[in-house]
Structures are given as C-alpha cells and as structure tokens.
Chain A
Amino acid sequence: MLNTSVAIRDIAKKLLDEKKVDLIIGFEKGSVPLRSTPCFVRSTSEADRLIWNVNCENNLAKYLPKTKERVGIVAKGCDVRSIIGLIKENQVTKEQVFIIGIPCKGMIDRRKIEAKLDGKEIIEAEEEDDTIILKGHNLRETIKKEEFLHNSCKTCTHRNPVIYDVLIGDKVVEDQAVDEYREVKEFEAQSHDERWQSFSDEVSKCIRCYACRNACPFCYCQECFVDSSQPQWIGKTTNLSNTAIFHIVRAFHIAGRCVDCGACDRACPMGIDLRRLTKKMEMDVKELFHYEAGINLEDVPPLATFNPDDPQEFIM
C-alpha cells in the first residue's frame, strides 16, 4: 500500500509539474481510524498528502461533473466505470481526465468491524498485508481484511480499471465465480407481502438526508425531482409513501448507469440496504438489454436506445 501511495504521489507531481492537469483528486489520511478522505491537490508541494489504503472507499468520480479543470483522478475499478459513464453522458470529456487507475482488492467496511466489537471503539488501526490491527480501550484485535469488505466489493467483477492513462500496481485476479445477484434472487424468491414488508422496513429508516443521492456520481441533475416545487412530485415528510417513492425513483434514475460502486449504500447513515434496489436494476438491464454499465466508451446507454425485438411479454 505504501508503494502505491508513493507511486500516486510521483505521478501526481509529474502531471502537475508538466502542467498536464490542474488538479489531482485522490485520498489523504482521514481524521478518524479506518477512514481516508478525498483530497484535492493543485501544487506539487501538496502531493505528499496523497495516500492509498483499504479505506479509500469514496467514489471520486462524484467530483467530476461540471468541473472546468483538467483533472488527474485516482480511481479504482468501480470509479473508472463511473468515469466512463460520465464521459458518455457528456458530464466530463475524456481529454479532460487523466485516470490514475488502481487495481483494487476491495475496501473495508468499518461498520461491519464496529458491529463485531460490542460497542468498543477503535482508536487506532494499522494495515498490514491482509490484516488490520485494531487498537482501543480494552481492545487489541487482528482482523482479516477480506472478512470485512463492503458488500459491493464482495460481489465486484471489475476490480481492475477497464480504462486508464496510467495503472499503478499489478492487475489483480477478477472473481469469476461470484454470483453477484444472489441476494437479489433470494429476495425475489419471497412473496409479494414479504417483499413489500421488507422494502417498507428498509425505507422507513430513511431521514431524507439525500446522502445516497449526493454520494452518487450519476446524481448530477440541476434540479432533483425531490426538490422540484412545480410540480412537487413528492412531499417533504418522512411518511412511508414519500420515502418509498423517493427510493424507487432514485433507483430507477440510475438504471443502466449504476456501476454498483456502493457509494450510496456506504453514505447512508441509517444503514438502508440500497444495493437491494440498485442491484435489481443492474440485473434487469443486463438480462433484458444485455448491457453492463461503464465497461467501454462505445455502448449506447440502454435507456437511451432500443431494439425492435426488446421483450414485451408484460404488455397487453
């Protein structure tokens, strides 16, 4: 990880020195254990703040739409897929972005770790190869990274950036065996009533903070439907109908665009299982229209096009 950090700093300095970019977006050390935080570097003297570790979970592609600067961006597999989507949607140009691609073995879910600690708090965390050493009051524990990955990382099938301008480190082996839609299928196997109950339980936790929306690289609308007053599509209260429709439409809006980076899921302070919604969208788009988002720059986004032979059994 240290080598990766050094390599990121070197390339950042080089890009800034040669004036190939105005800005590097990467990560720096966070203020609390198991956190890294987005970092904006505009001069070589600041470049040494850049780091890489298993806590670089944010999808930095979020910061690309509307940017005027030429940006060097540190990007994992999922982040690169988001960047591809944004380029296709004309939110940023290919020429404007210099992708510093990083093959990724998955990021750590600190909430999963915390849940294991029985209320004990982590004061310090050290990363060592495949393990993390946790220290705190009455706490000293070594945990295996792979047991505490984010859910989106556990089902990831594109750990390696699919495009990049420079790749740091060696490519990692992609998980070919994973059934990324297992949970969706399990959910589908339940009855209507069970599904509705479970969905309403999830969304009734929602506090309408819109962190899921704001963390998503594809939520860049000038005015979101929830904010529109003419017409006001849904009310501002947290009653179930309002929150349910918010989450349905949010998921619908990223159908065919979502790359399952998991940013929404991680951002949610209330622990709503948002991937249960987005993963279904992703699965259906794949099954019905044979499209996978963010894999290349050429394919036309599935909901912006059609095939005369698209399935229509559901239409009378």
Chain B
Amino acid sequence: MQELEIAKTEVVSLLNTLIRKYKVFAPVEQNGFITFQEIHSGSEAFLDYINSKKPPKEIFFPQSERLFSYNLSKGAGWGVEEPTLEEKQKIIFGIRPCDARSLVLLDNVFDGKLYKDPYYTDKRKNTTIIAIGCNQPGSTCFCTSLGGSPFSQDGSDLLLVDIGQKYIIQVVTKRGEKLAKEHNDVKKAEEHSLSLMRDTMETAEALIKSKIEVQKVTEKLDSMFDDPFWDLVSEKCLGCAICTYLCPTCYCFDITDEVTGQRGERVRTWDSCAFPNFTLQASGVNPRPSSKERLRQRIMHKFNYFVANHGMAACVGCGRCIKECPVNLDIQVILNSILNR
C-alpha cells in the first residue's frame, strides 16, 4: 500500500483545486447538523465532526429522483422523455469509513448480476471517494462488529488519517492514486508520520467498546422467524422511518407518478419497511400487518437475508439509528437480545 501525506493547512487549497475540475461534496454544517453538500470553496468543508445526520448515500440514491418525465397533452404521442444520465465527475471528500463501506453494500443491490440500476451506477462510476478515518469514534459507533473499522478502506479510493498537523493519505485504488498524484502538495509520507498514523489508528480502534458477534446473530436468526421475541421488541416502535431513512445501507424505494398540469414524471422516492403501505396490496391483504412483522423484516433483512444473498450484513455500525430513534429502540440492544435468546 502506498502512503502519502498532506499538511492540514493545504487541505483548503487542495479542495479549491479539486472544485475547479470536479463537483466536490463535503460535510458542511447547516441547521445545527452536518450534511453532505456540494461545496464551492474549500473552506466550506467541516471536517471536525463525528458523522453527518443524513448518510451520504443520498448523493447516489437521492430521496426523490426522477426516472423519466412525460407529456400528457393530447397529440403528444408516447411522450416519455428519457433522462440524460451523464454527469460531471464527482468527488466526495471527508466521508466516514462506515459510510464509504455502505456503498459497497449498496453496489450489491443496484449493480447486480441480473439488473443494473443506471441512475445509481452512473453516479457511482463518476465519483471518487475520499474518506477520513475516525480518530474519535462516536459513542454509538459499532463498525468493528460489522467487519469495518474506524479506518476501513472498503469503498474508498483514498483514506485520510488525521495525525495532528497532517493527514496521511492511504492510497486504496488506482483512481485514488491518480487523483492524489495530480497535486503538488501531496508528498510521500515520512516515516515519522507513518508511526504517528499507526499509533492514532490503534488508539482510535480501542475506543470502540461495543463488540457484537454479528455472525452468531445471523445464525440465530435462521430459526427465529416465529419467535415471540418480535412481539416484545416491537412493542415500543412508533413505526416511523427515521432508522431506515438515516441508515446508510437501507435502499428500499417506491415508484410513483407525479403530475402537474400536462407534465408528469415517474419518480423514485425512499420508502421504508416500517410503513404499513410498503407491502399493502391493492386487494387489502398485507403480509406485514403490524409493527412486529415490519421490525422483524428490518432486522432479518439486515442480518440474515442480506447475508444469505450477498455474504455480508446490511449494516455498517454507524449508529445513526441509535442516536435518532425517538423511543431509543437501540439496534445494538436488539442484536444483543437476539444473542441472549
């Protein structure tokens, strides 16, 4: 692996150079929390943060996205207008390793063997991911239980490690290397910096106290579908979509038509297994009629079905659902209770 370094004082100017050539997304502070947005100046980036409120998945899989539009006027014929997908090359700067990893999980779904989702894959293809490792993981982080770590390189093209005055740049992919080499401020890492990096990484990893044996959870779930456990654990669930909408790996969506005057569009919008309408059929039948079945689906999907289909759990341990649940229905608590059954 190749390691480079850049002085922190040069980061803003690095971003400014990148902005000239690419569409650059970075964490910015807005309304009192962090979101990923396109920045137009390097100084807008806010890198001293635990994690963003909304996961950066929305850059690839926006909450509302037009699939195509059409004209309903008489005489317009089959007025379907295909969207143009080509986009300017993008960079996401400062994403957390867990969120970068979530993209690898999403690729399994949207870039499948049989079908490819052109809207997602196009954006993915055109985007370089520059992650920053977590020197100070959050109190609800449990990435190490899911095969990740505060410095996981999965899904990143470059991974930055904060060593005080500088960032070490770990080169993960060819694409990352090419980008890094474009810039004069990026130098080969000094041996002293590398030793600092190793210390930093070790200290940070030790800060994550929670360790859940997720593989065992997966095995246990094999025989837990009809367990009364689900009645108990779902009792306090409000059935809102916070946990799924703020999850970097949840990808369920709805497709609807929205019409204004004679113009219409088919749009894809985030949807959630927490909602009754998600599975309600036109006949009135609903295979998941209550919060019990719906919560079970969320957990089963993440920790059992997805593992069966793609060889990994659909969770990266970012802790957003834990932080934001209005009734403190904590996924770590759920997983531990599963292990204890």
Is A–B contact present in the complex under a CB 8 A cutoff? yes
Chain A: residues with CB nearer than 8 A to chain B?
30-33, 35-40, 58, 62-63, 115, 119, 121-123, 136-137, 205, 207-211, 213-215, 227, 232, 235-239, 263, 266-267, 269-271
**In the bound complex, CA of A30 to CA of B322 (Å):** 11
CB<8 Å pairs between A and B, sample of 14: A33-B139, A36-B328, A37-B328, A37-B329, A38-B236, A39-B236, A121-B139, A136-B139, A207-B270, A210-B240, A211-B326, A227-B275, A237-B64, A270-B31
A235 with B240, Cβ < 8 A, contacts A30-B328, A207-B63 known:
no
Q: How far is the CA of A226 from the CA of B235 in the complex (A)?
A: 24
Which single residue of chain A is at the shortest CB-CB distance from B246? A269
Q: Are B63 and A238 in contact (CB under 8 A)?
A: yes
A31/B332 contact (C-beta < 8 A), A211-B241, A215-B238, A236-B254 known: yes
* Chain A contact residues, majority secondary structure: loop
A122 cross-chain contacts in B, Cβ below 8 A: 139
Among A207, A232, A266: residue with most chain B CB under 10 A: A207
CB of A32 within 8 A of CB of B330, answer: yes
Given contacts A63-B236, A207-B270, could you give 4 more A-B pairs where the C-beta distance is less than 8 Å?
Answer: A39-B236, A210-B240, A232-B256, A235-B258
Q: How far, in angstroms, from A119 to B258 measured CA to CA in the complex?
A: 41
Contact digits for B152-170, partner A, Cβ 8 Å, 1 yes 0 no: 0000000000000000000
Cross-interface CB contact of A214 among B33, B54, B238, B324, cutoff 8 Å:
B238
In the bound complex, do residue A211 and residue B139 qualify as a contact, i.e. CB atoms below 8 Å apart? no
Whether the Cβ atoms of B326 and A237 lie closer than 8 Å is: no
- Residue ID in chain B nearest A124 by CB atoms: B139
In the bound complex, CA of A205 to CA of B256 (Å): 22
**Please, which residue of chain A has its CB at the minimum distance from the CB of B324?**
A269
What distance in Å separates the Cβ of A147 from its nearest Cβ neighbour in chain B?
A: 18
Q: Using Cβ atoms and an 8 Å threshold, which residues of chain B touch A267?
A: 238, 240, 242, 326
Of B48, B140, B240, B267, the most chain A CB neighbours within 10 A belong to: B240
Residues of chain A contacted by B332 (CB below 8 angstroms): 31
The minimal Cβ–Cβ distance linking B24 to chain A, given in whole angstroms, is: 23
Of the listed residues B136, B277, B328, the one surrounded by the most CB atoms of chain A closer than 10 A to its CB is: B328
Contact B241 A209 (CB under 8 A): yes
B239 within 8 A of A: yes
Smallest CB gap from A263: residue in B: B326
Instruction: Give min CB distance, A12 to chain B, whole Å.
Output: 16
Q: Verify B242–A209 contact, CB threshold 8 A.
A: yes
Are A38 and B327 within 8 A (Cβ)?
yes
Nearest opposing residue in chain B for A30, CB measure: B328
* Complex contacts, A271 vs chain B, CB 8 Å: 31-33
- State the 5 A-B residue pairs at the shortest beta-carbon distance, nearest first: A211-B240, A237-B64, A267-B326, A37-B328, A31-B330
Give the CA-CA distance A40 to B233 in the complex, in Å: 10
The reply to whether the CB of B333 lies closer than 8 angstroms to some CB of chain A is yes
Partner of B236, one of A37, A123, A136: A37
Closest to A29 in B: B328
CB interface residues, B 307-341, toward A, < 8 Å: 322-324, 326-330, 332-333
Q: Which residues of B contact A39 (CB under 8 A)?
A: 236
Residues from chain A with a CB closer than 8 A to the CB of B138 are 121
Give B18-41 interface residues, CB cut-off 8 Å to A: 31-33
Nearest B residue to A38 by beta-carbon distance? B236
**Residues in chain A near residue B267, CB distance under 8 A:** 235-237
CA distance A207 to B64 in the complex (A): 10
A236 closest partner in B (C-beta): B269
B residues 265-300 in Cβ contact with A at 8 Å: 267, 269-272, 275-277
Contact with A along B205-228 (1 / 0, CB 8 A): 001000000000000000000000
A227 to B272, CA, bound (A): 13
Q: Is B50 an interface residue (CB 8 A)?
A: yes
Rounded to whole angstroms, the CA-CA distance of A63 and B238 in the bound complex is 9
Least CB separation from A234: chain B residue: B258
On whether the beta carbons of B136 and A211 are closer than 8 Å, the reply is no
Task: List, in ascending order, chain A residues with CB within 8 A of B270's CB.
Answer: 207-208
Which chain A residue has the least Cβ–Cβ distance from B258?
A: A235
**A210 and B270 alpha carbons, distance in the complex (Å):** 13
Bound-state CA distance A33–B64 (Å) is: 34
Enumerate chain B residues within 8 angstroms of A210, measured Cβ to Cβ: 240-241, 275
Residues of B close to A208: CB separation below 8 A: 63, 241, 245, 269-270
